[in-house]
Structure 1
Amino acid sequence: MENELLRYERLAEDLGGIIVAGNLRPGERLPSVRRLSRERRLSVSTVLQALRRLEDRGLVEARPQSGYFVRHTAARRSQPNARSTPEAPVPVDVSQRLMRVLQTSMQPGVAPLAAALPACSLLPLAALQRLYGGVARRHPHLLEGGSHVNMDTPALVRQLVLRSVGWAGPLAASEFVITNSCTEALGLCLRAVTQPGDTVAVESPAYYLMLQLLETLGLKALEIPTDPHSGLSIEALDLATRQGKVAACLLVPNASNPLGSIMPDEHKRRLARLSAERNLAVIEDDIYGDLHFCNERPRPIKAFDTAGNVMLCSSFSKCLSPALRIGFVAAGRYRARIALQKTITSGATNPVTQQVLAEYLESGAYERHMRGLRRTYERQVEAMRASVARHLPATTRLTAPQGGFVLWVELPEEVDTTALHDRAIAAGVGYVPGELFSASGMYRNCLRLNCGNPHTPEIEDAVRRLGALVAS
C-alpha cells in the first residue's frame, strides 16, 4: 500500500511539474490512463488516483469519453518572473511598515492570510501540555535556578544530533547552541560574524524578518536573484563575493520564505565550496526543512560544509508550537562566538521546555506528527493556489511551493499591493505586501499569503474579496 501511495504521488508530481513549467498547454490532452499505466508500470487505479490529485489541485480536468486535459486556469499558475536586483548593497528600512501590516492583520474579523503561523488545531498541544506536567514532577530541579555557563540540555542536544544523522552527517554535539527561537539563532549568528556597516547577501525576495535583523544591527543588504524553483543564484553570489566585500550570506535554502523553493543538492554543494574558498560565513535558516513536500527530506547546505563556515539555524515553531520558543544553531567554527553572544544577551533557554522537547522527540511522536502535518500543509497550499486561480486576474502568476505553507503571488504590474493593503484590511483580508520582502522596495505588485490554516469557506471568501479589490 505504501509503495502504491508513493508511486501515485510521484506520477502526480511529474505531471504537475510539466504543466506548471508550461510544457503542456491549456486545453492539451494528457496521455491516456492506459498508456500511463503501461509506460509507468502502474495499476490503472494508481494512475487514476494521481490524475484525481491533479484535478483537485486545479491543474487538469476530466472530460467524459475523452480523457484528462490541462485546465485553462493552470496557465495562471506559471512561476513568477525572475527579476534583476540592485548591484550595490542598500540600507534596510522595513520594520515600521512591517509592524503596522502585521498588527492590522491581527484585528478581529481579518482573515489570517498575513503572518506565517499554523492553525492551533494542527499542532500537538495536548501532548506537549501533558509532557510539561510530567517534566515538572520528575525534574523539579529544573526550576531551581539558571546558568549562563551550562545552557544546553544534554538530552535535547542528543536528540538534535540523532535527527541530523539522516541528512547532515551527523552534526557534532559540540556545535549546538540552544536558543529562544530561530530568530534569536539568526541574530546571534549575524552578531558573531558581522560589524555595523557590513554587507550581507540575501535572497531576493527575502524573508522580511531577516531584513529586520539586518536593519536592527546596522547592516546593508545585497539582494541576490532567486529562482522560484531552485532558489538563490549561485552564479550571482559568486560574482557578488569575488571582491571580498560580503561578510555573510543569509538564506533559506529549503522551502524558502516566501517562494517555497528548494535549492538542488548540487547548488548547495557549490555554495558550500564557495564558502570555503572565500571564507564566507553562511547563515542557513532551515526552519521549513522538515515541512517539505518531497519523498525525502532535503539536505541542508550544512551537510556539504567541510570548513565549518555554515551555521544551521532552526526551530520547532512551525510544526509543534510557536509558543515553545525553542530554536537552535549548529554553529560550526563559530560556536564559541555564538555561545558568548547568547550568554550576554539572554542567557540559557528555558530548561523545562528544553526537556519537554527532548522527551517529545525521543518518544517518536514527532515523526508520526510530521508525516500527517506535511500532507496537511501541502493540501492547504494547493487549495490556496486553486482559490487564487479562481478569483484573481487571469494574468496572475504564483509559485508552486515545494514545502512550507506560504504562497507568493505576482499580480499585474499596475497593481500596488502596499497601496491596496488598507482597503484589504477594511474588507477583512490580511496579506503581506511584496515590497516588504526587498530592502530596495521591489515587488510592489506582489504579495504573500499564509496557507497555515485549513482552507475553509471563510478563507475562500476572503480570497474572493481580495480578487474583487484587485480588479476594482
Structure 2
Amino acid sequence: MLNTEPLLYEKLAAELGGMIAGGVLRQGERLPSVRCLAKERRLSVSTVVQAFRQLEDRGLVEARPQSGYFVRRSMVLRSEPLPRATPDEAVPVDVSQRLVSVLNDAMKPGMTPFSAALPAAELLPVAALQRLYAGVARRHPKLLEGGSHFNMNEPALVRQLVRRSLAWGGPLAAEEIVITNSCTEALGLCLRAVTKPGDTVAVESPAYYLMLQLIETLGLKALEIPTDPRDGMSVEALDMASRNGQIAACLLVPNASNPLGSMMPDEKKRQLATLTAARGIAVIEDDIYGDLYFGKQRPWPIKAFDKTGNVMLCSSFSKCLSPALRIGFVAAGRYRAAIALQKAITSGGTNPITQNVLAEYLESGSYERHLRNLRRIYERQVESMRAAVSRYFPAETRISQPQGAFVLWVELPEEIDTSEVYERAIRDNLVYVPGELFSASGMYRNCLRLNCGNPHTPEIDDAVRRLGALMTKP
C-alpha cells in the first residue's frame, strides 16, 4: 500500500488554507512569521516555508519583501449557490443519452478527471486488498464451488456492517441487510420494491444524475424539491409537495450530497423520517459519502431516526476502498423481503469472495485508519479546487462549500450555458458534468460539477485555468 499520509508542510498548508477559506485569516492580514510558527508548531523553518509556498502557488497568500506573508487581497471568497425554486409538477426524466455521452467522453485518453466522481487510484489500499483476495481464496476454496440466488449474504460481512452502524446510532438489524453489487444496484432494487411505473419520486434539486437515470429507466416521474447547499433537501417543501398523496418515495443523499456536498442537520433528518412515515412515503437514503465527512464526528443517517422500518439505507465502499470491489448493501427495514426478491430475480448473489475480503479488511481495523487519512486528503483537494475555481472562473461565480466527499458544484453567471461550453471544452481535453444533467426539468444550465478526487497537481490547476477561460467566453 502506498503511503498517502500527507507531509508535514501539506498538513500545515491545509490548516492555514482552511482558516483563510473560513475567514479566520482575512484578506490583507499578515500570517505569523516563519520562525514564530516553526517554534510554536515544533516544525523546521524549511517545513513552514514549504507550506507558505504551497499556499502562494494556490493563490491564497503573497510574500512581501521584508514584511512576511499576507492573505491575498485579490482573493475572492466566493458565495455559495442559493437554493432555487423548482417546478410544482412531477415530470418524466430524460437524461440517459446525454449522460452516457459525457461519461464516455471521460474515458477517452488525455481527458482531465473532472467528470466521474471517482478517487485517484493512488489513494486506494489496492495492495492490501490484493493480499486479502489471495488469502481468502486460499483459506476458503469452496467459495468458488457454488452460488445461490437466495443466500446472498456472507455472515462475516453482515456482522461487520452491523458493528460499524454502532457509530451512528445503530445498530442495524442483521436480518434487514441485503448485500448488493453496488450502491446503484441497491438504489434500483429499492425503487423497484416500492414503486410502479408512473409513480412520483421526490428528489433533491440538484439531484445525483444516476438517481435520475434510475427513475427514467423504471418509467417513474421525478418531483424536484428545493435543496439548500448547506442543509440539504427542504423538509418544509417536501411537506407541502406531499399533502395530496402523490409521492410514492423519496430518494436523497442527506450526508455530503452529490453534487452540493450539503449535510442535513439531525433535526431535519428526524423531521423527514417522521413526515414520510406518517404519509406512507418510502425513503431511499444513499449514504455512500457518510464516512467521508469533514467535521469532527460521523454524521447520522436518516435511518438512525426511523421508528417504523420505512427508511432503506443504501451504501457501498466504492468511494473509500475501490470502485472495482462492486460491493454495496441496503439495510431495508420493512421492505427487506421485497428487495431480496428483486435481487434474486435480477442478479442473484453477490461475489462471496469479495464479501469475505471486505469483511476481513473491516475487521482488521485498517479501514478506520485509512478513512482518517482519506478524509484529510479529500478535504484538502476540495479546498484546493475551490481556490482554483475562485482564481480562474468569472467574478460572479458561486462555489459550493462541501461538508464531505469530493465533488464541487459551480454556479456561473446566467448567460453561461455549460452544456454549450462543453462541446468546446472536450476539444481541449476538458470534461465535466453539465448542470442540466442534475435536473429532471433541465434546470442548472449555468452550473457544472467538478470531481476533486485527484491530488491538485500543477496539471490539474492548469486544467482549471483553461476551463475558467472557456467559461468567460460568450
TM (normalized to structure 2)?
0.89
- What does 1:242-321 align with in structure 2 at a 5 Å threshold? 242-321=243-322
Write out aligned runs for 1:149-164 (5 A).
149-164=150-165
- Cα RMSD, aligned residues only: 2.8
Cα gap change, 1:123/1:67 in structure 2, threshold over 3 Å: closer, same or farther? closer
The separation in 1 between residues aligned to 2:249 and 2:59, in whole angstroms, is 41
Percentage of matched positions with identical amino acids? 71
Q: Secondary structure of 2:250's partner? A: strand
User: In the TM superposition, what is the alpha-carbon distance from 1:212 to its structure 2 partner?
Assistant: 0.1
> Which amino acid letter does the alignment assign opposite residue 448 of structure 2?
L
Q: Residue 434 of structure 2 aligns with which residue? A: 433
* DSSP 3-state at the match of 2:315: strand
Structure 2: unaligned runs, 5 residues or longer: 1-10, 33-38, 43-47
List runs of 5+ in structure 1 lacking aligned partners.
1-5, 34-42
Instruction: Tell me the amino acid that sits aligned with residue 465 of structure 1.
Output: R
> Which amino acid is 2:362 matched to?
L
Contact 1:16 1:54 in 2 (8 A): no
Aligned partner letter, 2:359: A
| Aligned twin of 2:111 | 110
> Cα offset for 1:433?
0.2
Q: The residue matched to 1:247 in structure 2 has which SS?
A: strand
Return the alpha-carbon distance in structure 1 between the equivalents of residues 58 and 306 of structure 2. 37
| CA contact 2:114–2:451 (8 Å) conserved in 1 | yes
For residues 233 and 59 of structure 1, the distance between their equivalents in structure 2, rounded to whole angstroms, comes to 34
Q: Which moved more, 1:220-229 or 1:276-285?
A: 276-285
- Preserved CA contact (<8 Å) 1:317 1:324: yes
SS at match of 1:254: coil
Q: Say if 1:435 and 1:443, in contact at 8 Å, map to a contact too.
A: yes
Matched residues in 2 for 1:220 and 1:428: separation? 35
CA contact (8 A) 2:17 2:60 kept: no
- Which TM-score applies when normalising by structure 1? 0.89
Q: Deviations over 1:17-55 (max 9, x none)?
A: 457xxxx9x74759x98xxxxxxxxx9659xx9x97998
Q: CA deviation at 1:464?
A: 1.1
Question: Residues 297 and 124 of structure 1: is their aligned pair in 2 closer, same or farther, counting only changes over 3 Å?
Answer: same
Deviations 1:123-163 (Å, cap 9, x if unpaired)?
00011111111111100110001012211000000000000
- Secondary structure of 1:107's aligned partner: coil
SS at structure 2 position matched to 1:235: helix
Q: CA deviation at 1:89?
A: 0.3
- 1:351-374 per-position Cα deviation (integer Å, ceiling 9, x unaligned): 010011001100111111111111
Find the aligned partners of 2:239 and 2:196 in 1 and give their Cα distance: 22
The match for 2:75 is 73
> How far apart in 2 are the matches of 1:247 and 1:57?
47
Partners in 1 of 2:242 and 2:59 — Cα distance? 42
TM-aligned CA distance change 1:134 to 1:57, over 3 Å: same
SS of corresponding position for 1:313 = strand
Q: Does the Cα contact within 8 Å between 1:204 and 1:223 map onto a contact in 2?
A: yes
Contact 2:153 2:178 in 1 (8 A): yes
Query: Counterpart in 1 of 2:3?
Result: none
Q: Is the 1:58–1:74 Cα contact (8 Å) retained in structure 2? A: no
Q: Which residue of 2 aligns with 1:85?
A: 86
Offset at residue 166 of structure 1 (A):
1.3
For residues 158-177 of structure 1, the aligned pairs below 5 Å read 158-177=159-178
The number of aligned residues is: 452
| Other-structure match for 2:120 | 119
**1:385 aligns to what?**
386
Please say which of residues 239-248 and 8-17 is displaced more in the overlay: 8-17
Quick check: 1:416 aligned with 2:417? Answer: yes
> How much has 1:280 moved relative to structure 2?
1.4
Q: CA deviation at 1:242?
A: 1.2
The structural deviation recorded for 1:320 is 0.6
Secondary structure of 1:289 counterpart: coil
Measured against aligned partners, the alpha-carbon deviations of 1:231-271 in whole angstroms (never above 9, x if no partner) come to 11111011111111100000000000000111111111111
